[in-house]
Amino acid sequence: MPRTPRLQRPSLWSVLVPVVALVAGLLFATSSRTALGTDLRAGESSQLSGLIEQRDDAVARQQDELALLQQQVQELTDQAASRNGAVAEASAEGAVGLASAGLTPVSGPGLTVRLDDAPQGDGADLPSGATGDDLVIHQSDVQGVVNAMWAAGADGVAIMGQRLISTSAVICVGNTLLLQGRKYSPPFVVTAVGDADEMRRQLAASAEVQLLKQYVQLYGLTYEVADEREVDLPAYEGTLEMQYAGRAG
């Protein structure tokens, strides 16, 4: 009898090869479809390069913005320093101005001038040719002394302890003095803080004071000048508006 041929079982490799080939074909097809005909790895590299360039551009813009902000901060700092300096300078000038205006107390060496009427008896005792007016201190006498002290650069001047300012007016009525709402009788005391020697020179150069000295010699009025080692003058406490006053007699 003829022998029936035996069927051989397919080997494992004969089965896997077609399967592997099929899977590989599917992968190639998927890659081709996904990449749309381009190299996927090359595409990833291009995208990464683009992202780096975008990031570099963003960093550059931020650095420019930072530099601008730093410049603005520096400018504001300089302006603030300038303003602070200006404020400090103005404050210092203001403090000097307050002292010069008499609005703050002042102390130091200085000078005192004492003015008083002549001793008076009855009318029969008047010197020949003299009147009662010749025997009293006048507004011009007090003002002459004050002006000489200001001319000498006094840091502060006071009459009867009242600080004077630029708008202060010396007023005499009869033989009394009206100053900033108060009335004073002689002797009148004028005190100043400053260079005593310079104030003496200005007193000697004053025409009003020289005339007063003549009346001192003729009729016995009092004009006394004394150096002071320490003078304390208070701040001016009156109104800052101009006041008018005058002297009768």
Who wins on pLDDT, 170 or 225?
Answer: 225
Q: Alpha-carbon distance 167 to 179, whole Å?
A: 11
Percent of the chain with pLDDT over 70: 60
Q: Using one digit for the tens of pLDDT, what is the confidence trace for 5-30?
A: 554 555 544 544 555 455 455 444 44
pLDDT value of position 247: 34
Asked whether the bond before 187 is cis by omega within 30 degrees of 0, the reply is yes
CB 113 within 8 A of CB 194: no
Residue at token pair 């009025």? 221
CB 104 within 8 A of CB 155: no
Least confident of 79-93, 110-124, 135-149: 79-93
Query: What six digits make up the tokens of 186?
Result: 């002689």
Strand, helix or coil at 23? helix
Q: Using one digit for the tens of pLDDT, what is the confidence trace for 193-220?
A: 999 999 999 999 999 999 999 999 998 9
Chain centroid to Cα 202, Å, comes to 35
Query: What six digits make up the tokens of 32?
Result: 């081709």
Q: Using one digit for the tens of pLDDT, what is the confidence trace for 30-84?
A: 444 444 444 444 455 555 556 556 666 766 777 777 778 778 888 888 777 767 6
Calculate the alpha carbon distances from 42 to 25, 52, 54, 56, 81 in Å.
22, 16, 19, 21, 58
